[in-house]
Amino acid sequence: MKIIRAKALGYCFGVRRAVEMAESELERGGSVYCYGPLIHNPDEMKKLEAKGLKILATNNTNSTNNENRNSEGTLLIRAHGVSPALEAGLRGQGFRIADATCPKVKANQLKAAEYYQAGRQVFIAGERGHAEIVGLLGYAPDAVVVGSKEELTANHANHANNTVVIKKPVLIAQTTFSTEEFDRIAQGLQACYPDLEIVNTICPATQERQNALRELCPQVEALLIAGGKSSANTQRLLDIARSSGKPAWVVENANELVESGLKMTLSGYTNIGLSAGASTPEWVTDAIEEELSR
């Protein structure tokens, strides 16, 4: 069996930076917390938790959980970022904040704030409820989140029919959003608002991984994506692989590859493409490849 890796896969700059920050905070000693899982990868999280990282429950809103009141220690903010109100709330509870918000997410937040403060109607192409979107909404509270072009017609009929008067509309994106869907949403919105400004804030790391996978699809019979089940960008890679018409699966680690019977299924193919989500550590992808080629 031949395994071909996508030219770009695995950890992006922002995730690597967040993991390195967590490791150096843990080395400094004292209590180190993270507001929600630092990254969407259970294997890496287990490693960090074994070193002492404690995960605080989030409520997926922009307010803090009361049970963390009067806390001490260092609290890491994830690469997805949080709203200014939530950050202030966490500081108010006594934590020292180590901000691992990815600089690209931070730039997106500041852009959203700038448009909002200028009185413009902000549209965000993204997944409602995703941590990055929850944080972004703290910077542009009246922004309209649009998940797909179809959703624009179904849930935002007033916008789709252009029955609301809005000022200087602008469209930005969740940094990990699909480029195709962003273009479709932009097209749909532009039909309603010809003066729409389109600012593609999708991260190049996301685009690189998606493009490398598209390039790989025609070269192989089936595709395997290494990544966590709750990782949005891993799921996006799976969607891209499947939309090529090739069979494709997500696997979290080498154990799951064997235990789920997927290794057996894949043994029926002579060449397999391998990609990995932006929160998948290299050691997990290596172990999957090794298991597959064994």
Q: Determine how many CB atoms are found less than 10 A away from the CB of residue 206.
A: 25
- Binding of ligand SF4 at residue 131 (CB under 6 A)? no
Place of tokens 């690469």: 79
Q: Beta partners for 34?
A: 55, 76
The catalytic position among 44, 132, 181, 289 is 132
Name which of 80, 246, 78 is nearest 174 in CA terms: 80
The residue (of 13 and 269) whose beta carbon lies closer to ligand SF4 is 13
User: CB nearest ligand SF4: which residue?
Assistant: 14
Please give the radius of gyration of the chain, using alpha carbons only, rounded to the nearest integer: 20
| CA 12 remoteness from chain centre | 11
- Binding of ligand SF4 at residue 79 (CB under 6 A)? yes
- Binding of ligand SF4 at residue 266 (CB under 6 A)? no
Q: Which of 6, 9, 15, 222 is in the footprint of ligand SF4 by CB under 6 A?
A: 15
Site for ligand SF4 in 216-255 (CB under 6 A): none
- Binding of ligand SF4 at residue 203 (CB under 6 A)? yes
70: left (phi > 0), else alpha (psi -120 to 50), else beta? left
Long-range interactions of 103-107: CB distance < 8 A, separation 24+: 103/14, 104/13, 104/14, 104/175, 104/203, 104/205, 105/14, 105/79, 105/80, 105/81, 105/132, 105/135, 105/175, 106/81, 107/201
Site for ligand SF4 in 155-184 (CB under 6 A): 175-176
Q: How far is the CB of 129 from ligand SF4 (least distance, A)?
A: 17
Is residue 132 among the annotated active site residues? yes
- Binding of ligand SF4 at residue 9 (CB under 6 A)? no
Stretch that binds ligand SF4, among 10-18, 149-157, 164-172, 224-232 (CB under 6 A): 10-18
User: Annotated active-site positions, please?
Assistant: 132
**Site for ligand SF4, rule CB under 6 A:** 12-15, 79, 102, 104-105, 175-176, 203, 205-206, 278
